[in-house]
Chain A
Protein backbone atom coordinates (compact mmCIF):
# COMPACT_ATOMS: atom_id res chain seq x y z
CA UNK A 1 0.00 0.00 0.00
CA UNK A 2 2.82 2.36 0.88
CA UNK A 3 4.54 1.45 -2.35
CA UNK A 4 1.35 2.26 -4.19
CA UNK A 5 0.83 5.70 -2.68
CA UNK A 6 4.48 6.62 -3.17
CA UNK A 7 4.40 5.72 -6.83
CA UNK A 8 0.87 6.72 -7.61
CA UNK A 9 1.76 9.58 -9.95
CA UNK A 10 4.30 7.47 -11.74
CA UNK A 11 1.79 4.66 -12.27
CA UNK A 12 -0.90 7.10 -13.38
CA UNK A 13 1.45 8.48 -16.02
CA UNK A 14 1.85 4.96 -17.34
CA UNK A 15 -1.88 4.40 -17.35
CA UNK A 16 -2.43 7.66 -19.22
CA UNK A 17 0.16 6.58 -21.76
CA UNK A 18 -1.73 3.29 -22.27
CA UNK A 19 -5.11 5.00 -22.61
CA UNK A 20 -3.84 7.77 -24.90
CA UNK A 21 -2.12 5.21 -27.10
CA UNK A 22 -5.29 3.11 -27.35
CA UNK A 23 -7.53 6.09 -28.05
CA UNK A 24 -5.29 7.61 -30.70
CA UNK A 25 -4.95 4.20 -32.37
CA UNK A 26 -8.70 3.79 -32.34
CA UNK A 27 -9.17 7.23 -33.88
CA UNK A 28 -6.69 6.61 -36.68
CA UNK A 29 -7.94 3.05 -37.19
CA UNK A 30 -11.56 4.18 -37.48
CA UNK A 31 -10.71 6.62 -40.26
CA UNK A 32 -8.39 4.23 -42.09
CA UNK A 33 -10.58 1.21 -41.43
CA UNK A 34 -13.80 2.76 -42.69
CA UNK A 35 -11.99 4.06 -45.76
CA UNK A 36 -10.40 0.68 -46.45
CA UNK A 37 -13.66 -1.14 -45.75
CA UNK A 38 -15.62 1.04 -48.17
CA UNK A 39 -12.94 0.63 -50.82
CA UNK A 40 -13.08 -3.15 -50.34
CA UNK A 41 -16.67 -3.09 -51.54
CA UNK A 42 -15.83 -0.85 -54.51
CA UNK A 43 -16.40 -2.10 -58.03
CA UNK A 44 -12.87 -1.15 -58.99
CA UNK A 45 -11.24 -4.60 -58.95
CA UNK A 46 -7.63 -3.56 -58.42
CA UNK A 47 -8.55 -1.14 -55.65
CA UNK A 48 -10.74 -3.53 -53.72
CA UNK A 49 -8.19 -6.33 -54.06
CA UNK A 50 -5.39 -4.10 -52.78
CA UNK A 51 -7.48 -3.11 -49.79
CA UNK A 52 -8.37 -6.71 -49.09
CA UNK A 53 -4.69 -7.58 -49.30
CA UNK A 54 -3.96 -4.84 -46.78
CA UNK A 55 -6.55 -6.24 -44.39
CA UNK A 56 -5.38 -9.82 -44.79
CA UNK A 57 -1.74 -8.83 -44.36
CA UNK A 58 -2.12 -6.98 -41.08
CA UNK A 59 -4.68 -9.41 -39.71
CA UNK A 60 -2.38 -12.28 -40.61
CA UNK A 61 0.81 -10.93 -39.06
CA UNK A 62 1.16 -11.29 -35.30
CA UNK A 63 0.87 -7.81 -33.77
CA UNK A 64 4.32 -8.21 -32.29
CA UNK A 65 5.84 -8.70 -35.75
CA UNK A 66 4.06 -5.62 -37.11
CA UNK A 67 5.37 -3.74 -34.11
CA UNK A 68 8.95 -4.87 -34.72
CA UNK A 69 8.65 -4.19 -38.45
CA UNK A 70 7.56 -0.61 -37.81
CA UNK A 71 9.99 -0.01 -34.97
CA UNK A 72 13.10 -1.41 -36.65
CA UNK A 73 12.46 -0.70 -40.31
CA UNK A 74 11.21 2.89 -40.25
CA UNK A 75 14.63 4.16 -39.11
CA UNK A 76 16.22 2.32 -42.05
CA UNK A 77 13.88 4.21 -44.34
CA UNK A 78 15.09 7.42 -42.74
CA UNK A 79 12.03 7.97 -40.57
CA UNK A 80 13.04 8.35 -36.95
CA UNK A 81 10.20 7.90 -34.51
CA UNK A 82 10.16 6.91 -30.87
CA UNK A 83 8.64 3.74 -29.50
CA UNK A 84 5.35 5.46 -28.66
CA UNK A 85 4.79 6.59 -32.24
CA UNK A 86 5.97 3.21 -33.57
CA UNK A 87 3.46 1.43 -31.37
CA UNK A 88 0.78 3.86 -32.52
CA UNK A 89 1.53 3.17 -36.19
CA UNK A 90 1.72 -0.61 -35.78
CA UNK A 91 -1.43 -0.90 -33.69
CA UNK A 92 -3.30 1.44 -36.03
CA UNK A 93 -2.35 -0.77 -38.96
CA UNK A 94 -3.57 -3.86 -37.13
CA UNK A 95 -6.81 -2.38 -35.85
CA UNK A 96 -7.68 -0.58 -39.07
CA UNK A 97 -7.33 -3.92 -40.88
CA UNK A 98 -9.77 -5.46 -38.40
CA UNK A 99 -12.18 -2.53 -38.62
CA UNK A 100 -12.10 -2.60 -42.40
CA UNK A 101 -13.29 -6.20 -42.37
CA UNK A 102 -16.10 -5.32 -39.95
CA UNK A 103 -17.07 -2.38 -42.16
CA UNK A 104 -17.07 -4.53 -45.28
CA UNK A 105 -19.28 -7.08 -43.58
CA UNK A 106 -21.66 -4.39 -42.34
CA UNK A 107 -21.89 -2.73 -45.77
CA UNK A 108 -22.55 -6.03 -47.48
CA UNK A 109 -25.27 -6.83 -44.97
CA UNK A 110 -27.28 -3.77 -46.08
CA UNK A 111 -29.80 -4.88 -48.70
CA UNK A 112 -28.86 -4.13 -52.31
CA UNK A 113 -32.27 -2.53 -52.86
CA UNK A 114 -31.16 0.49 -50.83
CA UNK A 115 -28.26 1.21 -53.16
CA UNK A 116 -30.56 0.78 -56.14
CA UNK A 117 -33.12 3.11 -54.59
CA UNK A 118 -30.42 5.73 -54.00
CA UNK A 119 -29.28 5.45 -57.59
CA UNK A 120 -32.88 5.87 -58.72
CA UNK A 121 -33.11 9.01 -56.59
CA UNK A 122 -30.07 10.39 -58.38
CA UNK A 123 -27.56 10.16 -55.55
CA UNK A 124 -23.92 9.80 -56.51
CA UNK A 125 -21.87 6.83 -55.28
CA UNK A 126 -20.26 8.93 -52.57
CA UNK A 127 -23.62 10.34 -51.51
CA UNK A 128 -25.12 6.86 -51.37
CA UNK A 129 -22.31 5.74 -49.09
CA UNK A 130 -22.35 8.87 -46.96
CA UNK A 131 -26.10 9.30 -46.43
CA UNK A 132 -27.63 5.86 -46.94
CA UNK A 133 -25.26 2.96 -46.42
CA UNK A 134 -22.71 4.12 -43.85
CA UNK A 135 -25.15 5.44 -41.22
CA UNK A 136 -26.74 2.00 -41.10
CA UNK A 137 -23.47 0.11 -41.43
CA UNK A 138 -21.88 2.03 -38.56
CA UNK A 139 -24.66 0.93 -36.25
CA UNK A 140 -24.16 -2.70 -37.25
CA UNK A 141 -20.42 -2.67 -36.77
CA UNK A 142 -20.56 -0.92 -33.41
CA UNK A 143 -20.37 -4.12 -31.32
CA UNK A 144 -17.27 -5.38 -33.10
CA UNK A 145 -15.59 -1.96 -32.88
CA UNK A 146 -16.19 -1.82 -29.13
CA UNK A 147 -14.91 -5.37 -28.80
CA UNK A 148 -11.86 -4.33 -30.77
CA UNK A 149 -11.34 -1.36 -28.46
CA UNK A 150 -11.03 -3.74 -25.50
CA UNK A 151 -8.67 -5.89 -27.54
CA UNK A 152 -6.66 -2.81 -28.52
CA UNK A 153 -6.22 -1.63 -24.94
CA UNK A 154 -4.89 -5.07 -24.07
CA UNK A 155 -2.61 -5.14 -27.09
CA UNK A 156 -0.98 -1.82 -26.25
CA UNK A 157 0.80 -3.71 -23.47
CA UNK A 158 2.97 -5.21 -26.23
CA UNK A 159 4.59 -1.81 -26.74
CA UNK A 160 6.54 -2.59 -23.57
CA UNK A 161 8.70 -4.88 -25.70
CA UNK A 162 9.93 -1.98 -27.82
CA UNK A 163 10.47 0.21 -24.78
CA UNK A 164 7.33 2.32 -24.59
CA UNK A 165 6.63 3.31 -21.02
CA UNK A 166 2.99 2.33 -20.71
CA UNK A 167 1.16 1.11 -17.63
CA UNK A 168 2.73 -2.34 -17.60
CA UNK A 169 6.21 -0.87 -18.00
CA UNK A 170 5.78 1.62 -15.18
CA UNK A 171 4.60 -1.20 -12.93
CA UNK A 172 7.68 -3.20 -13.84
CA UNK A 173 9.87 -0.20 -13.08
CA UNK A 174 8.23 0.22 -9.68
CA UNK A 175 8.80 -3.46 -8.91
CA UNK A 176 12.45 -3.15 -9.84
CA UNK A 177 12.94 0.07 -7.92
CA UNK A 178 11.40 -1.31 -4.73
CA UNK A 179 13.48 -4.44 -5.07
CA UNK A 180 16.69 -2.43 -5.43
CA UNK A 181 16.01 0.25 -2.86
CA UNK A 182 14.24 -1.70 -0.15
CA UNK A 183 15.12 -5.26 -1.03
CA UNK A 184 11.59 -6.57 -0.95
CA UNK A 185 9.59 -8.12 -3.75
CA UNK A 186 6.22 -6.63 -4.58
CA UNK A 187 5.90 -8.46 -7.89
CA UNK A 188 2.82 -10.49 -6.98
CA UNK A 189 0.87 -7.52 -5.59
CA UNK A 190 1.85 -5.24 -8.45
CA UNK A 191 1.06 -7.74 -11.20
CA UNK A 192 -2.28 -8.44 -9.53
CA UNK A 193 -2.88 -4.68 -9.64
CA UNK A 194 -2.10 -4.71 -13.37
CA UNK A 195 -4.63 -7.49 -13.94
CA UNK A 196 -7.23 -5.61 -11.91
CA UNK A 197 -6.73 -2.31 -13.71
CA UNK A 198 -6.92 -3.84 -17.18
CA UNK A 199 -9.98 -5.82 -16.12
CA UNK A 200 -11.75 -2.72 -14.78
CA UNK A 201 -11.16 -0.93 -18.08
CA UNK A 202 -11.88 -3.78 -20.49
CA UNK A 203 -14.69 -5.66 -18.79
CA UNK A 204 -17.34 -2.90 -19.21
CA UNK A 205 -16.34 -2.57 -22.86
CA UNK A 206 -16.75 -6.30 -23.44
CA UNK A 207 -20.09 -6.33 -21.68
CA UNK A 208 -21.26 -3.37 -23.75
CA UNK A 209 -20.14 -5.07 -26.95
CA UNK A 210 -21.94 -8.26 -25.97
CA UNK A 211 -25.14 -6.43 -25.09
CA UNK A 212 -25.15 -4.41 -28.32
CA UNK A 213 -24.54 -7.56 -30.32
CA UNK A 214 -27.51 -9.22 -28.71
CA UNK A 215 -29.78 -6.21 -29.24
CA UNK A 216 -28.97 -6.02 -32.95
CA UNK A 217 -29.67 -9.63 -33.58
Chain B
Protein backbone atom coordinates (compact mmCIF):
# COMPACT_ATOMS: atom_id res chain seq x y z
CA UNK B 1 0.00 0.00 0.00
CA UNK B 2 1.16 3.49 -0.70
CA UNK B 3 1.23 5.71 2.34
CA UNK B 4 -0.02 9.25 1.91
CA UNK B 5 2.67 11.69 0.97
CA UNK B 6 3.69 13.81 3.95
CA UNK B 7 4.78 17.20 2.61
CA UNK B 8 5.22 18.68 6.07
CA UNK B 9 7.84 16.08 6.83
CA UNK B 10 9.86 17.09 3.79
CA UNK B 11 9.96 20.67 5.01
CA UNK B 12 11.11 19.41 8.40
CA UNK B 13 14.04 17.45 7.05
CA UNK B 14 14.99 19.85 4.28
CA UNK B 15 17.66 21.67 6.35
CA UNK B 16 19.21 18.31 7.15
CA UNK B 17 19.21 17.30 3.50
CA UNK B 18 20.75 20.62 2.55
CA UNK B 19 23.74 19.98 4.80
CA UNK B 20 24.08 16.66 2.98
CA UNK B 21 23.77 18.42 -0.35
CA UNK B 22 26.56 20.78 0.70
CA UNK B 23 28.85 17.82 1.28
CA UNK B 24 27.85 16.29 -2.06
CA UNK B 25 28.67 19.55 -3.82
CA UNK B 26 31.91 19.96 -1.89
CA UNK B 27 33.31 16.55 -2.74
CA UNK B 28 32.02 16.75 -6.32
CA UNK B 29 33.51 20.16 -7.06
CA UNK B 30 36.84 19.29 -5.46
CA UNK B 31 36.99 16.01 -7.34
CA UNK B 32 36.06 17.60 -10.65
CA UNK B 33 38.81 20.18 -10.18
CA UNK B 34 41.40 17.54 -9.34
CA UNK B 35 40.29 15.25 -12.17
CA UNK B 36 40.60 18.19 -14.56
CA UNK B 37 44.24 18.57 -13.55
CA UNK B 38 44.95 14.82 -13.63
CA UNK B 39 43.12 14.43 -16.92
CA UNK B 40 44.84 17.31 -18.66
CA UNK B 41 48.29 16.23 -17.48
CA UNK B 42 47.60 12.65 -18.53
CA UNK B 43 46.37 13.74 -21.94
CA UNK B 44 49.39 15.97 -22.60
CA UNK B 45 51.78 13.23 -21.46
CA UNK B 46 50.17 10.74 -23.82
CA UNK B 47 49.97 13.09 -26.76
CA UNK B 48 53.62 14.05 -26.38
CA UNK B 49 54.45 10.37 -25.93
CA UNK B 50 56.82 10.97 -23.02
CA UNK B 51 58.46 7.59 -22.30
CA UNK B 52 57.72 5.81 -18.99
CA UNK B 53 55.23 8.48 -17.88
CA UNK B 54 53.11 7.70 -20.91
CA UNK B 55 52.99 4.01 -20.03
CA UNK B 56 52.11 4.82 -16.44
CA UNK B 57 49.20 6.93 -17.63
CA UNK B 58 47.97 4.09 -19.89
CA UNK B 59 48.02 1.59 -17.03
CA UNK B 60 46.34 4.03 -14.65
CA UNK B 61 43.59 4.91 -17.13
CA UNK B 62 42.86 1.32 -18.10
CA UNK B 63 42.94 0.08 -14.54
CA UNK B 64 40.53 2.71 -13.24
CA UNK B 65 38.17 2.56 -16.20
CA UNK B 66 37.81 -1.20 -16.04
CA UNK B 67 37.24 -1.69 -12.33
CA UNK B 68 34.23 -0.56 -10.27
CA UNK B 69 34.44 2.71 -8.39
CA UNK B 70 32.91 1.01 -5.36
CA UNK B 71 35.91 -1.32 -5.20
CA UNK B 72 38.30 1.65 -5.40
CA UNK B 73 36.45 3.22 -2.48
CA UNK B 74 36.63 0.03 -0.42
CA UNK B 75 40.26 -0.44 -1.37
CA UNK B 76 41.21 3.03 -0.17
CA UNK B 77 39.05 2.78 2.92
CA UNK B 78 39.76 -0.76 4.11
CA UNK B 79 43.15 -1.68 2.67
CA UNK B 80 45.22 1.50 3.06
CA UNK B 81 44.84 1.58 6.89
CA UNK B 82 46.46 -1.88 6.98
CA UNK B 83 49.42 -0.35 5.16
CA UNK B 84 49.61 2.39 7.75
CA UNK B 85 47.81 5.12 5.76
CA UNK B 86 44.76 6.30 7.63
CA UNK B 87 42.41 8.58 5.74
CA UNK B 88 39.08 10.07 6.74
CA UNK B 89 35.99 8.97 4.84
CA UNK B 90 35.71 12.37 3.15
CA UNK B 91 39.33 12.21 2.03
CA UNK B 92 38.80 8.71 0.67
CA UNK B 93 35.73 9.96 -1.15
CA UNK B 94 37.55 12.85 -2.77
CA UNK B 95 40.59 10.75 -3.69
CA UNK B 96 38.51 7.92 -5.15
CA UNK B 97 36.30 10.26 -7.17
CA UNK B 98 39.29 12.30 -8.36
CA UNK B 99 41.18 9.23 -9.50
CA UNK B 100 38.08 7.92 -11.23
CA UNK B 101 37.24 11.24 -12.87
CA UNK B 102 40.90 11.81 -13.75
CA UNK B 103 41.11 8.53 -15.67
CA UNK B 104 38.01 9.34 -17.68
CA UNK B 105 39.07 12.96 -18.17
CA UNK B 106 42.48 11.82 -19.44
CA UNK B 107 40.71 9.91 -22.20
CA UNK B 108 38.38 12.83 -22.89
CA UNK B 109 41.18 15.36 -23.12
CA UNK B 110 43.41 13.13 -25.18
CA UNK B 111 40.78 13.32 -27.89
CA UNK B 112 41.28 17.08 -27.76
CA UNK B 113 45.07 17.30 -27.47
CA UNK B 114 45.44 14.76 -30.29
CA UNK B 115 43.16 16.85 -32.47
CA UNK B 116 45.27 19.99 -32.15
CA UNK B 117 46.54 20.47 -35.71
CA UNK B 118 50.15 19.56 -36.12
CA UNK B 119 50.76 22.69 -38.16
CA UNK B 120 50.06 24.79 -35.08
CA UNK B 121 52.58 22.91 -32.97
CA UNK B 122 55.14 23.30 -35.75
CA UNK B 123 54.34 26.99 -35.93
CA UNK B 124 55.01 27.20 -32.24
CA UNK B 125 58.36 25.52 -32.73
CA UNK B 126 59.16 27.84 -35.61
CA UNK B 127 58.47 30.78 -33.33
CA UNK B 128 61.03 29.37 -30.92
CA UNK B 129 58.57 28.30 -28.22
CA UNK B 130 59.81 25.74 -25.75
CA UNK B 131 57.93 22.45 -25.37
CA UNK B 132 56.40 23.73 -22.15
CA UNK B 133 55.26 26.90 -23.88
CA UNK B 134 53.71 24.89 -26.71
CA UNK B 135 51.89 22.76 -24.16
CA UNK B 136 50.83 25.74 -22.10
CA UNK B 137 49.76 28.09 -24.89
CA UNK B 138 48.71 25.78 -27.73
CA UNK B 139 47.87 22.24 -26.64
CA UNK B 140 46.06 22.90 -23.39
CA UNK B 141 43.81 25.78 -24.48
CA UNK B 142 42.88 24.22 -27.81
CA UNK B 143 42.64 20.67 -26.49
CA UNK B 144 40.42 21.84 -23.66
CA UNK B 145 38.02 23.61 -25.96
CA UNK B 146 37.79 20.69 -28.37
CA UNK B 147 37.19 18.07 -25.70
CA UNK B 148 35.10 20.06 -23.26
CA UNK B 149 31.80 18.34 -24.24
CA UNK B 150 33.32 14.93 -23.45
CA UNK B 151 34.78 16.19 -20.19
CA UNK B 152 31.48 17.72 -19.12
CA UNK B 153 29.90 14.26 -19.26
CA UNK B 154 32.64 12.95 -17.00
CA UNK B 155 32.13 15.86 -14.62
CA UNK B 156 28.40 15.16 -14.38
CA UNK B 157 29.16 11.49 -13.74
CA UNK B 158 31.46 12.51 -10.89
CA UNK B 159 28.54 14.32 -9.25
CA UNK B 160 26.29 11.29 -9.72
CA UNK B 161 28.93 8.94 -8.40
CA UNK B 162 29.44 10.98 -5.26
CA UNK B 163 26.45 8.97 -4.01
CA UNK B 164 28.79 5.95 -3.80
CA UNK B 165 30.39 7.54 -0.76
CA UNK B 166 27.33 6.60 1.27
CA UNK B 167 28.89 3.18 1.52
CA UNK B 168 31.74 4.43 3.70
CA UNK B 169 29.62 6.87 5.65
CA UNK B 170 30.50 10.24 4.14
CA UNK B 171 27.70 12.56 5.30
CA UNK B 172 26.53 13.46 1.81
CA UNK B 173 22.99 13.69 0.50
CA UNK B 174 22.20 9.99 0.12
CA UNK B 175 23.78 9.11 3.44
CA UNK B 176 21.85 11.81 5.31
CA UNK B 177 18.61 10.56 3.78
CA UNK B 178 19.26 6.88 4.47
CA UNK B 179 20.38 7.70 8.00
CA UNK B 180 17.19 9.61 8.66
CA UNK B 181 15.03 6.85 7.16
CA UNK B 182 16.36 4.56 9.86
CA UNK B 183 14.76 6.87 12.47
CA UNK B 184 11.48 7.89 10.88
CA UNK B 185 10.71 5.17 8.33
CA UNK B 186 9.46 7.83 5.95
CA UNK B 187 11.12 5.95 3.12
CA UNK B 188 8.73 7.12 0.45
CA UNK B 189 8.99 10.85 1.15
CA UNK B 190 12.72 10.80 1.75
CA UNK B 191 13.71 8.91 -1.39
CA UNK B 192 11.39 10.95 -3.58
CA UNK B 193 12.87 14.14 -2.14
CA UNK B 194 16.50 13.22 -2.66
CA UNK B 195 15.69 11.90 -6.14
CA UNK B 196 14.26 15.31 -7.01
CA UNK B 197 17.24 17.11 -5.45
CA UNK B 198 19.65 14.94 -7.46
CA UNK B 199 17.72 15.54 -10.65
CA UNK B 200 17.76 19.30 -10.13
CA UNK B 201 21.47 19.20 -9.35
CA UNK B 202 22.41 16.96 -12.27
CA UNK B 203 20.09 18.36 -14.91
CA UNK B 204 21.05 21.86 -13.80
CA UNK B 205 24.75 21.11 -14.08
CA UNK B 206 24.29 19.45 -17.48
CA UNK B 207 22.38 22.50 -18.69
CA UNK B 208 25.10 24.81 -17.41
CA UNK B 209 27.76 22.72 -19.15
CA UNK B 210 25.79 22.81 -22.36
CA UNK B 211 25.77 26.60 -22.27
CA UNK B 212 29.54 26.63 -21.74
CA UNK B 213 29.91 24.09 -24.54
CA UNK B 214 28.05 26.35 -26.92
CA UNK B 215 30.29 29.26 -25.93
CA UNK B 216 33.43 27.19 -26.49
CA UNK B 217 32.22 25.40 -29.59
CA UNK B 218 33.80 26.19 -32.87
CA UNK B 219 33.77 22.91 -34.63
CA UNK B 220 30.13 22.41 -35.55
CA UNK B 221 29.93 25.17 -38.11
CA UNK B 222 33.12 25.11 -40.07
CA UNK B 223 33.81 26.08 -43.61
CA UNK B 224 33.58 23.49 -46.37
CA UNK B 225 35.92 20.56 -45.86
CA UNK B 226 37.20 22.20 -42.72
CA UNK B 227 36.52 19.51 -40.14
CA UNK B 228 37.85 20.12 -36.67
CA UNK B 229 41.22 21.43 -37.78
CA UNK B 230 39.87 23.79 -40.39
CA UNK B 231 37.45 25.13 -37.84
CA UNK B 232 40.15 26.02 -35.40
CA UNK B 233 42.36 27.70 -37.92
CA UNK B 234 39.37 29.54 -39.28
CA UNK B 235 38.47 30.72 -35.84
CA UNK B 236 41.93 31.90 -35.01
CA UNK B 237 42.31 33.75 -38.30
CA UNK B 238 39.11 35.69 -37.94
CA UNK B 239 37.15 37.33 -35.21
CA UNK B 240 36.54 35.35 -32.02
CA UNK B 241 32.80 35.86 -32.28
CA UNK B 242 30.68 34.54 -35.09
CA UNK B 243 27.91 36.66 -36.56
CA UNK B 244 25.22 33.99 -36.31
Q: Do A and B bind each other?
A: yes
| Measured CA separation A78–B1 after assembly (Å) | 6
Kindly state whether residue A68 has any CB partner on chain B within 8 Å.
yes
A62 touches B198 (CB 8 A): yes
Most central of A57, A68, A168, A202 by chain B CB within 10 Å: A68
Kindly state whether residue B174 has any CB partner on chain A within 8 Å.
yes
Interface locus among B42-50, B62-70, B118-126, B211-219: B62-70
Complex partner residue of A157 from B63, B71, B79, B161, CB under 8 angstroms: B71
Kindly state whether residue A199 has any CB partner on chain B within 8 Å.
yes
A57 touches B187 (CB 8 A): no
A72 touches B70 (CB 8 A): no
The interface bits of chain B over 141-185 (1 if a CB of A lies within 8 angstroms of the residue's CB, else 0) are: 000000000000000000011111011000000100010010000
| Measured CA separation A188–B164 after assembly (Å) | 20
Kindly state whether residue B127 has any CB partner on chain A within 8 Å.
no
Total residues of chain A contacting the partner, CB 8 A? 36
| Measured CA separation A188–B78 after assembly (Å) | 8
Task: Write the nearest CB–CB distance from B94 to chain A, whole angstroms.
Answer: 17
Report A-chain residues with C-beta under 8 Å of the C-beta of B160.
Answer: 61-63
Kindly state whether residue A77 has any CB partner on chain B within 8 Å.
yes
Report A-chain residues with C-beta under 8 Å of the C-beta of B3.
Answer: 76
Kindly state whether residue B236 has any CB partner on chain A within 8 Å.
no
| Measured CA separation A61–B191 after assembly (Å) | 12
Complex partner residue of A198 from B66, B181, B199, B202, CB under 8 angstroms: B66
Kindly state whether residue A191 has any CB partner on chain B within 8 Å.
yes
B161 touches A62 (CB 8 A): yes
Task: Write the nearest CB–CB distance from B58 to chain A, whole angstroms.
Answer: 12
B191 touches A65 (CB 8 A): yes
Report A-chain residues with C-beta under 8 Å of the C-beta of B62.
Answer: 199, 203, 206
Number of A-B contacts (CB under 8 A): 105
B67 touches A202 (CB 8 A): yes
Kindly state whether residue B9 has any CB partner on chain A within 8 Å.
no
| Measured CA separation A158–B195 after assembly (Å) | 17
The interface bits of chain B over 57-91 (1 if a CB of A lies within 8 angstroms of the residue's CB, else 0) are: 00000110111111100110011001100000000
Kindly state whether residue B27 has any CB partner on chain A within 8 Å.
no
Given the contacts A76-B187, A158-B70, A65 and B79 also touching, CB distance less than 8 Å:
no
B195 touches A69 (CB 8 A): yes
A198 touches B161 (CB 8 A): no
The interface bits of chain A over 182-215 (1 if a CB of B lies within 8 angstroms of the residue's CB, else 0) are: 0001011001101100110011001000000000
Complex partner residue of A61 from B69, B164, B198, CB under 8 angstroms: B198
Could you write out 18 A-B pairs with CB less than 8 Å apart? A60-B198, A60-B203, A60-B206, A65-B163, A68-B174, A69-B195, A76-B3, A76-B187, A150-B66, A154-B66, A154-B68, A157-B68, A168-B68, A188-B79, A191-B78, A194-B67, A195-B63, A199-B67
Q: Name 14 extra pairs, CB < 8 A, besides A65-B198, A77-B1, A195-B71.
A: A60-B198, A60-B202, A62-B202, A64-B166, A69-B191, A157-B71, A158-B164, A188-B79, A188-B83, A198-B71, A199-B62, A199-B66, A199-B67, A202-B67
Which B residues have a C-beta under 8 Å from some C-beta of A? 1-3, 62-63, 65-71, 74-75, 78-79, 82-83, 160-164, 166-167, 174, 178, 181, 187-188, 191, 194-195, 198-199, 202-203, 206
